[in-house]
Amino acid sequence: MSARVAVLVFPGTNSEEETVRACRAVGLEADAVHWNADLDEVRRFDAYVLPGGFAYEDRVRAGAIAAHDRLMTAVREGAAEGKLVLGICNGAQVLLEAGLAPALGGDSSIQAGFAKNAPLGKFRSTHVHVKLAIPPERCAITAHLAPNAVIPGWASHGEGRLAAHDDVLARIEREGHLAFVYCDASGETTTEAIPNGSALGAAGLVNAAGNVLAIMPHPERDAWTFNHHDDSRERARGNANAMLAPSGGIALFESLAKALR
């Protein structure tokens, strides 16, 4: 029996469909679970994915209200039990606001946040690549990726700039919480590759235990040939099977699925 993954939906979430589809494409049993679901039912899932969107309209701050939603009770309990938790974009913002990432030293207070993009402070949607910046096994969700794996995705956010005090940023780097950094298509980390001025070039953070991953770009929006940004889409034109083949960002979901087997 495949692992059951809950893709959590708050009022304002908008990426649950493609996230559920990406999970199912790699053999997971995934369901969209809404904010009013029975908590005991939610607790029965093996893993949680918090997808992108604008939970609670980003009121107060991106992710701030959802971080205190009752659904997060199940996520906190699950994370403490070692269940896998993946937050994508708005989901990543929620995880930081909930103190589930980076959770330096296992501390669940708010240690960092995703602040307004720099330099313009505006919403930006652009194709990006991210590189695995930790040994794959440091995080259960990335454990089946190749070392230094480069994953394509879409950065699509107004608040994606990692911000924290200098001592926290130093610890994020030193203690192995910097899971993904922005890079170019060849894996080179350059200033130009960072779409939002994020500190450390950070695109994703992992918690101390290695079971909670918060990643800003959307791998599920570049997970099939038909939505690739490179020429593979043109090459597949006229070939439905090739066009519908999972690839690119699906790698992160494949690694998640292998971790759950």
Partner 1 sequence: MTVTRYVEVVLTIPDNEAETALTTLRRLGVHVDELRRSDLYRIEVEPEREGTLLETLREIETIYNPNKHALRLRSDVAPQPGEAWIDEPKTVDSARGPVHIAGRVLPGVWGLERLVAWQLSDSLGKPASAEVVARAAETLLCNPAFQRATTNSHIRPK
Q: Is 168 in the site for partner 1 (CB under 8 A)?
A: yes
173 catalytic? Reply is no
Smallest separation (angstroms) from partner 1 to the CB of 46: 28
**Whole-number Å distance between alpha carbons of 122 and 132:** 26
Q: Does 117 bind partner 1 (CB under 8 A)?
A: yes
Nearer to partner 1, 3 or 62 (CB): 62
Q: Which of 16, 18, 23, 89 is catalytic?
A: 89
207 binding partner 1? (CB under 8 A): no
Q: Could you say whether residue 171 binds partner 1 (CB under 8 A)?
A: no
Select 113 or 246, whichever has its Cβ closest to partner 1. Answer: 113
Q: Is 116 an interacting residue with respect to partner 1 (CB under 8 A)?
A: yes
Buried b (16+ CB within 10 A) or exposed e, 61-87: ebbbbbbebebbebbbebbeeebbbbb
Is 16 tagged catalytic?
no
In the set 18, 97, 159, 220, the catalytic residue is 220
Decide: is 254 part of the binding site for partner 1 (CB under 8 A). Answer: no
Residue 114 pairs with which residues in a beta bridge? 162
Of the candidate spans 32-40, 129-137, 164-172, 182-190, the one that interacts with partner 1 by CB under 8 A turns out to be 164-172
Residues 6+ away with beta carbon under 8 Å from 149 = 131, 132, 136, 142, 251
Q: Tell me how far, at minimum, the Cβ of 212 lies from partner 1, in Å.
A: 17
DSSP-assigned letters across all residues of 102-124: S-GGG--S---EEE--TTT---E
Chain residues 93-112 in contact with partner 1, contact rule CB under 8 A: 97, 110-112
Rounded alpha-carbon distances, angstroms, from residue 29 to 32, 46, 57 = 10, 10, 28
Kindly state the tokens that stand for 220.
């599920």
Residues 74 and 42: beta-carbon distance below 8 Å: yes
Q: Which of 179, 203, 212 is nearest to 75 (CA)?
A: 212
Does the footprint of partner 1 cover residue 202 (CB under 8 A)? no
Shortest Cβ 155–partner 1 spacing (Å): 16
Task: Pick between residue 65 and residue 151 the one whose CB is nearest to partner 1.
Answer: 65
CA dist., res. 147 & res. 155, Å (int): 22
Catalytic residue check, 218? yes
> With contacts defined by CB under 8 A, how many residues of the chain interact with partner 1?
24
Collapse the DSSP code of 92 into the 3-class scheme (helix H, G, I; strand E, B; otherwise coil) and give the result.
helix
Give the residue, chosen from 27, 113, 176, 187, that forms a contact with partner 1 under the rule CB under 8 A.
Answer: 113
Among 6, 85, 95, 115, binds partner 1 (CB under 8 A): 115
Residues with catalytic roles = 89, 218, 220
Binding site for partner 1 (CB under 8 A): 56-57, 59-61, 64-65, 68, 97, 110-113, 115-121, 163-165, 168
